[in-house]
Chain A
């Protein structure tokens, strides 16, 4: 079964840092491009970041550029999102999502709350 499982979410103060992880199973992780997409409470979906299958090509949304870093470890079937200088507006469920021409599989998400 194809599965993506996120972890690492929680409550953090403004200006703080958090590292999200996503563990993949049931498919050849190293062959797939990956994304992070977030959803603020009661709101729609916002693309956050993309990483190619090798990790050499990376893109960010303007809203997180310079603060977030996406990475992957294909030996561990894992995707990461290092989030620094967190703001209240970063509060959201963060989903990792597999891509093969389109985003076809999503994890269940991990909640990040930025609040003092």
Chain B
């Protein structure tokens, strides 16, 4: 099983600041990594797929990078609606998808 480890567990920032979230895989997943955003009481929403491609309707302030085992989700300038939990997910071992444990982005 491919294990995804996200860091930090919690990130406290203010609106307007830059957020950098990390996801590390226990073995190479090539570029088969996605990022999801989940707000309380809601389903996850796809933000980024294949490491760096924004999903339809996702603002340009969200960007993804990385390949192999190390990946980053960057939010260039935080908006109030961006405070949520973010999950990375690999599909290298399709369809045995695995998810990271999540990073909670909270308002400082």
The minimal Cβ–Cβ distance linking B47 to chain A, given in whole angstroms, is 11
B95 near A59: Cβ-Cβ < 8 Å: yes
B49 near A104: Cβ-Cβ < 8 Å: yes
- Report the bound CA distance from A92 to B89 in whole Å: 19
- Report the bound CA distance from A47 to B93 in whole Å: 12
Question: Which chain B residues lie closer than 8 Å to A108 at the CB level?
Answer: 42-43
A11 in contact (CB, < 8 A)? no
Partner of A45, one of B42, B44, B91, B96: B44
- Report the bound CA distance from A45 to B98 in whole Å: 8
Partner of A102, one of B34, B87, B100: B34
Using a CB–CB distance below 8 Å, which chain B residues touch chain A? 34, 36, 42-46, 49-50, 55, 87, 89, 91, 95-102
